[in-house]
Amino acid sequence: MNTVTVGTGTCGLAAGAGKVVREFERVLAVHAVRGVEVRETGCLGMCYAEVLVEVADHESRWLYGRVSPDRVPRIVLEHVLGGTPVRDWVLLENGEGPEAAFLKRQRHIVLRNCGAIDPRSIDDYLARDGYRALERVLRTMSPEEVIELVGASGLRGRGGAGFPTGTKWRLARAAPGDEKYIICNADEGDPGAFMDRSVLEGDPHSVLEGMLVGAYAIGARHGYIYCRAEYPRALEMLRSAIDQATRRGYLGDHILGTDFSFTVMLKEGAGAFVCGEETALIASIEGKRGMPRLRPPYPAVSGIWGKPTSINNVETFANLPWIVLNGAEPFAAMGTGRSRGSKVFAMAGKVKRTGLVEVPMGITIDEIVFGVCGGTVNDKPFKAVQMGGPSGGCIPASLGGTQIDYEQINQTGAIMGSGGMIVMDDSTCMVEMARFFLEFTQNESCGKCTSCRIGSLRMLEILERIVEGKGRDGDVELLAELGAQIRETASCGLGQTAPNPVLTTIRYFRDEYEAHIRDKRCPARSCALLVNYVIDSARCTGCQLCVKDCASGAIYGEKKQAHVIDQVKCVKCGKCITMCNLDAIEKH
C-alpha cells in the first residue's frame, strides 16, 4: 500500500476534505502505519461524490466517494492495513465500476493532470512531461513554427468567443513594437462556471507552460495572470507554481539557457464581471475602473500600456503543452467542422452527476446530460440546458441532439461560452431564469453606454412584473424589441449579449411567458407570488415550528395535529417551507 490521495480542490474542501485529510493522518499515526503517504490533489471531476479519496498501490487504484471523517478508520483498517477494499464505498476500481460511465465518453487533455498530481509539487508536474513542451519549443522551433502548429490544430479561444488562437498570436506577433505582453484571463465570472478554477487549482503549471509557449510565439517578455479574488485557492496554487517555476528556471531570464526571458505577474481581480471583457480587463490591470472601450484597435495591436497584447483564457493555455507534444493532427482529429479538440464543461443544476467533464467536440448535449452525467436528479423531465451564462441562452430538451460545436450552438441562440452548463428540469421557471440573468448583467453593467445601462434595466423591470403576476399583453413583444435594439447598439460584448437569455427563452418557452401574463400562473410552480403554499396533512406532525414563524399568522392547527394555511392571509413569503423539517409544505 503506497498512497492515499484526497481531492482538496475548493469543491472537495467545501464538502469537508480538510477534515478527511487530518483524520487519515491521525488514524495512520495512531496505528503507527509506515510507508503510506497522504497526498492532496486538485479536483477529480466527480464533484457530486465529494469527498473523493484514492487508495493506490503498485498495481491498483481504488476511488472512494462520499468519504466523511467517520468512514476513514474503516478504510484504513480494512483496506490500507488489511488489503481488502471496502467495496460498498468504492466508486471505481482501476477505472471500472458503477461510476465508469462518467469517464467513458470523456477525453482528458486540459484535465490530463487534474486529480492526478499534487498541484503544489512541480516535481509531480515534471514527472508527467511537464515543461517538456516548453523545452521542445525553445530548442527546436521558431516562433512562426509555433504559431503555424497552433493554427493547424484548429484551437479556438476557450473563453467563449472562439477566436482562433493561432490567428490571434499571428496578429500580436506581426504588430509593430518591441515590447509585447501576454495575459491569461482567469477572471471566470459566469455564474455557473468553474472549469478555470478547477484547472488553476489542480494543474497551475500547465497554464504557466501554455503562457510561456504563447509568449515565445508572439515575442512577449512579460505576462499577467488576472484571476478573480473569489478564488483564494486558485490564487494560492498560482503563487506557489510561479514561485517554484522561477526557482527552477522555467520563468525568469535566459530560460533553459536560451535567449528567451519571461516573467509573469499575478493580478488579483476586485470583483467585476465586466473585467472578463478584454479591454475592461486591461483597464483593470492598469489600475482603473474596469470599463470596456471600443475596438478597434484590438489588444493585439494596442493592449496593455498601449503595447501589443494577446489575451487568452486559462483552458486555452492548458491545451497548448499537449498540442506541442502530441502535434496538431491528433488534436484536430477530434471534433467537427471548425470546432476541434475537446471542451471542458462545468455541469451543475438539476443533474445527477455534477462536476467537471471534458468531452471531444461534436458530441451531443443529450450524450453529456444522459450518457456522461446520468440524467436529471430523481429522473424528473429534462427541460433545458443553459449554456454561456449571462451571455448565453437556454437550449430546450427538444434540441438535445445539437452537437457541441461553436457554430451549431450559435444557431440555437445560445453560445458555447466558457463552459458552464446548467441543467434544468420542470421545476425551473424559464421566465424567472431570464429575469435572474438580466438582473445579473444589469448589476454588472459598467454604465458607460446607454443601451446597456438603461435598456437592460427596462427589460429587467418588465420581467420582474411578469414573474410577480403583473405582466401585460404586449410585454413579450416589447422585450423582444428592446432585446434586439440592445444587441445592435451596446458597445461591448456584455451589453450586446445581455438580451440572449431573454430572447432564447421567448423563442423556446413562449408558452411559459403567456401563462404568467394571461393566466397569472407559473407552470414550474417556482415564482413565489404565483403559487399557493399548502400543508400535506399526511406528513405534518403538528410540531408548530411554522406557526411560530409565520409573520402574518396564516397557519392554524392544534399541537400534534396537521396544520392548515389560510390562503387569504398568506403573503407567500415562503418562510414556512424553510422551517419545516418534514417537507410537509408544498407549492401548488
| Residue 169, Cβ density class (10 Å: 0-12 exposed, 13-18 middle, ≥19 buried) | buried
CB of 83 to another protein, least distance (A): 33
Distances (CA, A) of 378 to 14, 15, 397, 582: 24, 22, 17, 18
The three-class DSSP label of residue 381 is: coil
CB of 435 to another protein, least distance (A): 10
Quote the CA–CA distance of 333 and 225 in Å, as a whole number: 30
Asked if 527 interacts with another protein (CB under 8 A), we say no
Question: In the stretch 232-261, what mask flags binding to another protein with x, by CB under 8 A?
Answer: x-----------------------------
Q: How many of the chain's residues bind another protein (CB under 8 A)?
A: 64
Per-residue buried b or exposed e for 222-241, using 16+ beta carbons within 10 Å of the residue's own CB = bbbbbbbeebebbbebbebb
Q: Which is nearer to another protein, 54 or 444 (CB)?
A: 444
Question: In the stretch 382-411, what mask flags binding to another protein with x, by CB under 8 A?
Answer: ----x--x----------------------
Q: Which is nearer to another protein, 80 or 275 (CB)?
A: 275
Asked if 444 interacts with another protein (CB under 8 A), we say yes
Name the residue with cell 468504492: 90
Phi, psi of 191 (to 5 degrees): -65, 130
CB of 428 to another protein, least distance (A): 5
Q: Which is nearer to another protein, 100 or 229 (CB)?
A: 229
Quote the CA–CA distance of 433 and 522 in Å, as a whole number: 12
Residues in 169-208 that interact with another protein by CB under 8 A? 188-194, 197
Please report, in angstroms and rounded to a whole number, the separation of the first and last CA atoms in the chain.
55
- Out of 422, 459, 565, 585, point to the residue binding another protein (CB under 8 A): 422
- Out of 11, 28, 182, 530, point to the residue binding another protein (CB under 8 A): 11
- Are residues 51 and 73 in contact, defined by beta-carbon separation less than 8 angstroms? no
- Are residues 191 and 344 in contact, defined by beta-carbon separation less than 8 angstroms? no
Question: In the stretch 284-313, what mask flags binding to another protein with x, by CB under 8 A?
Answer: xxxxxxxx-------------x--------
Q: Which residues contact 355 (CB under 8 A, 6 or more apart)?
A: 11, 43, 45, 46, 47, 48, 346, 347
Please choose, from the candidates 421, 284, 429, the residue with its C-alpha nearest in 3D space to the C-alpha of residue 365: 421
Quote the CA–CA distance of 316 and 298 in Å, as a whole number: 19
CA 324 distance to own-chain centroid: 26
Asked if 436 interacts with another protein (CB under 8 A), we say yes
Q: Which is nearer to another protein, 57 or 426 (CB)?
A: 426
Q: Which is nearer to another protein, 165 or 391 (CB)?
A: 391
- Out of 268, 426, 468, 586, point to the residue binding another protein (CB under 8 A): 268
Asked if 362 interacts with another protein (CB under 8 A), we say no
Give residues in contact with another protein (CB under 8 A). Answer: 10-11, 13-15, 47-48, 50, 188-194, 197, 229-232, 267-273, 284-291, 305, 346-350, 354-356, 386, 389, 420, 422, 424, 428, 433, 436-437, 440, 443-444, 446, 573-575, 577-579, 581
